[in-house]
Chain A
Amino acid sequence: MLYAVLVAAAYSFTQAVAAIGGQHRVLTSARLGAYGTCALIAVAIVVLTYAFVTHDFRVRYVSHYSDRSMSTDYLIAALWGGQDGSLLWWSTLLAIYTAACVTWMRGRFRQLEPIVIATLMVTISFFAVLMLFAANPFQTNLAEAVQDGEGLNPALQNYWMIVHPPALYIGFVGCSIPFAFAVAALITGRLDNDWVIGVRKWMLFAWLFLSIGNVLGMVWAYEELGWGGFWAWDPVENAAALPWFTATAYLHSTMIQERRNMLKVWNVILICVTFFLTIFGTFLTRSGLISSVHSFAQSNIGVFFVWFMGLIVALSLALIVWRLPLLRAESQVEALLSRESAFVINNWSLVGIMVFVAGGTIFPKLSEWLYNETITVGPPFFNRWAAPIGLLIFLLMGLAPLLGWRKTSPKALRRAFVFPLAVSVAVATIHLLLGKRWGMPAFVAHDSTIHGLTGAAINGFMTAAPWVTITLVGFNTAVIVQEFFFGIRSRQSSARQKGEPENLIASLVRLVAKNRRRYGGYIVHLGITAMFLGFVGTAWSTTEEVSVVPGQSVNAAGYRVTYVAPRECPGSPKCSEAEQADTTKRMAFADLDVYRDGVLVARLSPAKFSYQRGQGQTTTEVGLLRGLLADLYIVLGPTEPGQQRALLQVHGNPLVSWIWVGVLVLMFGAAISLWPEVSLGRLGVWSAVRTSAAVAASAAMAIILASSLSVTGAALHRSGSTVRLTPSNQMPLASPGGGDSRQVEP
Chain B
Amino acid sequence: MSGPTTAMALAIEHKRLALVSAFILLSIAVLVGWCFATWLLLLAFCLLLLAVGLLWASVTTVGQAEEVSIEEALDLAAPTRDEERKIAVLRGIKDLEYERGLGKVSEQDYQQLMRRYRQEAKGLLQRLDTSEASVRQKAIDLVDQRLAKVTPDSAPKGSNA
* A residues adjacent to B (C-beta < 8 A): 8, 11-12, 15, 24-26, 28-33, 35-37, 39-40, 42-43, 46-47, 49-50, 53-54, 72, 106-111, 190, 192-194, 197, 258-259, 404-407, 409, 412, 415-416, 486-487, 490, 494, 515, 684-687, 689
Contact = CB atoms under 8 A, between A and B. Distances in A.
A107 B1 CA distance: 15
- DSSP class of A's interface residues: helix, strand, loop or mixed? helix
A332 to B, nearest CB: 15
12 contacts: A32-B58, A39-B50, A40-B48, A50-B41, A72-B36, A108-B78, A108-B79, A108-B84, A190-B81, A192-B81, A404-B104, A486-B103
Contacts, number: 136
B9 A684 contact: yes
A404 B105 contact: yes
A50 B109 contact: no
Contact of A40 (B51, B68, B79): B51
Nearest to A334: B109
Contacts of A111: 81
Given A43-B48, A50-B41, A190-B81, 15 more contacts: A11-B55, A24-B72, A32-B55, A32-B58, A39-B47, A50-B40, A53-B36, A107-B78, A108-B84, A111-B81, A404-B109, A406-B105, A406-B109, A415-B103, A685-B10
A109 B106 CA distance: 35
Contacts of A108: 78-79, 84
A46 B54 contact: no
A29 B13 contact: no
Contact of A490 (B41, B72, B101): B101
B55 A685 contact: no
Interface of B: 9-10, 12-14, 16-17, 20, 36-37, 40-41, 43-44, 47-48, 50-55, 57-59, 61-62, 64, 66, 68, 72, 74-79, 81, 84-85, 88, 92, 95, 98-99, 101-106, 109
Nearest to A7: B55
Nearest to B84: A194
B14 A36 contact: no
Contacts of B103: 412, 415, 486
B38 to A, nearest CB: 9
B119 to A, nearest CB: 14
Given A36-B54, A107-B78, A405 B47 contact: no
A166 to B, nearest CB: 18
Nearest to B101: A490
Given A412-B103, A490-B101, A25 B61 contact: yes
Most interface-central of A30, A32, A190, A486 (chain B CB within 10 A): A32
B44 A43 contact: yes
Contact of B79 (A24, A107, A689): A107
A50 B44 contact: yes
Contact of B61 (A28, A416, A515, A686): A28
A689 B17 contact: yes
B98 A515 contact: yes
A33 B57 CA distance: 8
A190 to B, nearest CB: 7
A7 to B, nearest CB: 9
B92 A259 contact: yes
A43 B47 CA distance: 6
Nearest to A76: B36
A407 B107 CA distance: 12
Contacts of B98: 515
Contacts of A72: 36
A46 B47 contact: yes
Contact of B44 (A46, A109, A197): A46
A685 B14 CA distance: 7
Contacts of B12: 686
A33 B76 contact: no
Contact of B109 (A35, A192, A405): A405
A50 B44 CA distance: 9
B99 A107 contact: no
Contacts of A689: 17, 20
B40 A49 contact: yes
A258 B101 CA distance: 20
B25 to A, nearest CB: 14
A258 B88 CA distance: 9
Nearest to A487: B102
B17 A490 contact: no
A26 B62 contact: yes
8 closest A-B pairs by CB: A686-B13, A39-B51, A32-B58, A36-B54, A36-B55, A33-B58, A46-B44, A50-B40
